[in-house]
DNA sequence: GAGGTAACTTACTCCAAGGTCATATTGCGA
DNA sequence: TCGCAATATGACCTTGGAGTAAGTTACCTC
């Protein structure tokens, strides 16, 4: 019998890294960057703090790794939908639908990307800026098209409207996270009802 | 000449408290609760840290005091507008207008009330909940009325729509904070254009 | 002008959390 | 089977910021 708990347990680095990322993503997404300690990540991952540092270097490094995985997933999902040819309000809806599906098993991931408690400088800020920029670009595309259609042409108006749209998106995801009994499908249907009610548009065929 | 810097400077407690609150509100609203240290508040107020503790008891006590002042101002402003008889989308606009005016000299106050880095328990959380509840009640009133008009009756749909509305409000204030060159009046006009564009409603008379 | 009190500061304590070091165990190739 | 690299940890160092103890100065009243 070993005299200490140290020593390898036969788990390869890649596997451990994956385990740590899962635990960290969940905690960061739930408690926020500032509210999560590295020790609190190590515990559910079943390992000790120094191993986390050995693999990810720092708390920021750990967060960046989580961010890259989650951000890539979300950005790709949204980009695929944007390139699928759907336009107008329906494009917004389809994007919501895709995000709801993606987030269904791990809704806390959303907060990761827009966490206001994350550091405003350094590596984390840069990675966040990358994904925020990719997502914002898509929003600008969609909102810009829609704005032109209803006669909103002033660039500052469009800029504000982009912000509003992203905020609506965030609010709907946030509401959903607070109502875990609602399925992704039900959420999409809800969005259709709300959009229809507010804009008067016809989105009846979206739920095919 | 005095041998130390200690000793009264003849400033009455009420005056000092007011100075401290001004400095604290600005810092909390800019850097957030978590990002602001009590020492950082003391410095621009021109005093030392223990005096802050002597007057406000704790960092939470200090934040609560800021919150009460700011929250009361905002809640009263919004309640007055709500009771003034204006209805429908115009009520939303008038509320935005009132908040823009109130915030013009101190836009950072907005973030104070919805600061996500504030503690989730204890006195601060309670005070925040109080004002959030007052403001949410007004939103529910206004949104509920509007929702009924466009045939949205499911309580969960209304609940989600309330969240969306508050988020739009927050986005518009946030955009404005990021564009300090825009006057409160210009912002109100912008909101009229956006609302008109998105909903198709006629708000032409609002800018009287 | 003596003393009580309000206003004020210096110099600490304490703790949580980020980060590091020295060391222990085991799998595996030569 | 020998030894090295990879995996792992307990114990430690360090820092920043919340909070406090004890003392200093000045105003105000009698």
Q: Is the pLDDT of residue B176 over 90?
A: yes
Task: Give the per-residue pLDDT at A48.
Answer: 96
Residue B51 Cβ under 7 A from any strand D atom = no
Burial of B15 (0-12, 13-18, 19+ CB in 10 A): exposed
Give the residue numbers in B contacting A (CB under 8 Å), as ranges: 32, 34, 116-117, 147, 150-152, 154, 156-157, 159-161, 163-164, 166-168, 170-172, 174-175, 179, 182, 190, 193-194, 197-200
Rounded mean pLDDT, B134-140: 98
Q: Searching chain A, which residue's CA lies closest to the CA of residue B175?
A: A160
Task: Give the per-residue pLDDT at B207.
Answer: 58
Over residues A149-175, the pLDDT tens digits come to 999 999 999 999 999 999 999 999 999
Work out the number of other CB atoms within 10 angstroms of the CB of residue A150.
16
Chain A residues within 8 A of B167 when measuring between CB atoms:
167-168, 170-171, 174
Rounded mean pLDDT, B64-70: 97
Q: Is the pLDDT of residue A81 over 80?
A: yes
Q: Is the pLDDT of residue B157 over 70?
A: yes
Pick from A34, A147, A168: CB nearest B164:
A168
- Tell me B181's DSSP state: T
Over residues A26-79, the pLDDT tens digits come to 999 999 999 999 999 999 999 999 999 999 999 999 999 999 999 999 999 999
* Cα(A3)–Cα(A1) distance, integer angstroms: 6
Over residues A185-197, the pLDDT tens digits come to 999 999 999 999 9
Q: How confident is the model at residue B146 (pLDDT cuts 50, 70, 90)?
A: very high
Q: Is the pLDDT of residue A123 over 70?
A: yes
Q: What b/e sequence results for A24-35 when a residue is b if at least 16 CB atoms lie within 10 Å of its CB, and e otherwise?
A: bbbbbbebbbbb
- The separation, in Å, between residue A100 CA and nucleotide C2 C1' comes to 77
Instruction: Looking at the complex, report in whole angstroms how far the Cα of residue B168 sits from the nearest Cα belonging to chain A.
Output: 6
Work out the number of other CB atoms within 10 angstroms of the CB of residue B7.
8
Taking alpha carbons only, the member of B191, B85, B182 closest to residue B142 is B85
- The separation, in Å, between residue A186 CA and nucleotide D10 C1' comes to 50
Task: Give the per-residue pLDDT at B204.
Answer: 65
Q: Do B200 and A199 count as a contact with CB atoms less than 8 A apart?
A: yes
Share of chain B above pLDDT 90, in %: 89
Q: Is the pLDDT of residue A208 over 60?
A: no
Q: Do A152 and B194 count as a contact with CB atoms less than 8 A apart?
A: yes
Residue B48 Cβ under 7 A from any strand C atom = yes
Share of chain B above pLDDT 70, in %: 97
Instruction: Looking at the complex, report in whole angstroms how far the Cα of residue A54 sits from the nearest Cα belonging to chain B.
Output: 28
What is the number of structural domains in chain B? 1
- The separation, in Å, between residue A109 CA and nucleotide C7 C1' comes to 51
Q: Are B33 and B123 in contact (CB under 8 A)?
A: no
User: What is the CATH classification number for the domain harbouring A40?
Assistant: 1.10.357.10
Rounded mean pLDDT, B27-32: 94
Of A4 and B38, the structure prediction assigns the larger pLDDT to B38
Q: How confident is the model at residue B145 (pLDDT cuts 50, 70, 90)?
A: very high
Q: Do B34 and A117 count as a contact with CB atoms less than 8 A apart?
A: yes
Q: Is the pLDDT of residue B10 over 90?
A: no
Structural domain boundaries enclosing A147: 13-199
Q: Is residue A208 situated within a structural domain?
A: no
Q: Are A67 and A112 in contact (CB under 8 A)?
A: yes
Strand, coil or helix: A102:
helix
Q: Do B198 and A150 count as a contact with CB atoms less than 8 A apart?
A: yes
Q: How confident is the model at residue A204 (pLDDT cuts 50, 70, 90)?
A: low
Task: Give the per-residue pLDDT at B208.
Answer: 55
Q: Do A161 and B194 count as a contact with CB atoms less than 8 A apart?
A: yes
Q: Is residue A6 situated within a structural domain?
A: no
Q: Is residue B4 situated within a structural domain?
A: no
- The separation, in Å, between residue B122 CA and nucleotide C24 C1' comes to 45
Whose CA is nearest the C1' atom of nucleotide D11?
A50
- Tell me A56's DSSP state: H
Residue A200 Cβ under 7 A from any strand C atom = no
0.85 surpassed by complex ipTM: yes
Q: Is residue A93 situated within a structural domain?
A: yes
Residue B199 Cβ under 7 A from any strand C atom = no
Q: Is residue A90 situated within a structural domain?
A: yes
- Mean pLDDT for all residues in chain A: 94
Q: Is residue B7 situated within a structural domain?
A: no
* Cα(A91)–Cα(B177) distance, integer angstroms: 29
Comparing A5-9, B138-142, B164-168, the range with the smallest average pLDDT is A5-9
Task: Give the per-residue pLDDT at A9.
Answer: 87
Q: Is residue A50 situated within a structural domain?
A: yes
Q: Searching chain B, which residue's CA lies closest to the CA of residue A163?
A: B171
Task: Give the per-residue pLDDT at A207.
Answer: 58
Share of chain A above pLDDT 90, in %: 88
Q: Is residue B208 situated within a structural domain?
A: no
Chain B residues within 8 A of A160 when measuring between CB atoms:
171-172, 175, 190, 194
- Tell me B192's DSSP state: H
């Amino acid at each position: 019998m070993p005299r200490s708990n140290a020593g390898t347990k036969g788990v390869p680095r890649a596997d451990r890294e994956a385990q740590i990322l899962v635990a960290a993503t969940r905690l960061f997404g739930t408690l926020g960057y500032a509210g999560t300690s590295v020790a609190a990540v190590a515990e559910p991952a079943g390992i000790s703090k120094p191993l986390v540092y050995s693999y990810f270097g720092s708390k920021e490094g750990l967060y960046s790794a989580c961010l890259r995985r989650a951000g890539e997933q979300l950005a790709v999902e949204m980009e695929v939908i944007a390139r699928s040819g759907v336009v107008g309000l329906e494009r917004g809806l389809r994007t919501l639908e895709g995000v709801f599906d993606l987030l269904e098993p791990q809704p806390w991931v959303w907060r990761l990307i827009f966490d206001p408690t994350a550091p405003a400088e350094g590596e984390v800020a840069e990675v966040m800026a990358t994904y925020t920029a990719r997502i914002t670009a898509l929003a600008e595309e969609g909102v810009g098209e829609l704005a032109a259609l209803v006669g909103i042409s002033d660039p500052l108006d469009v800029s504000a409207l982009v912000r509003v749209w992203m905020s609506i998106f965030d609010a709907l995801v946030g509401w959903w996270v607070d109502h875990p009994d609602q399925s992704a499908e039900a959420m999409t249907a809800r969005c259709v009802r709300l959009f229809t009610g507010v804009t008067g548009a016809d989105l009846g065929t979206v739920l095919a």
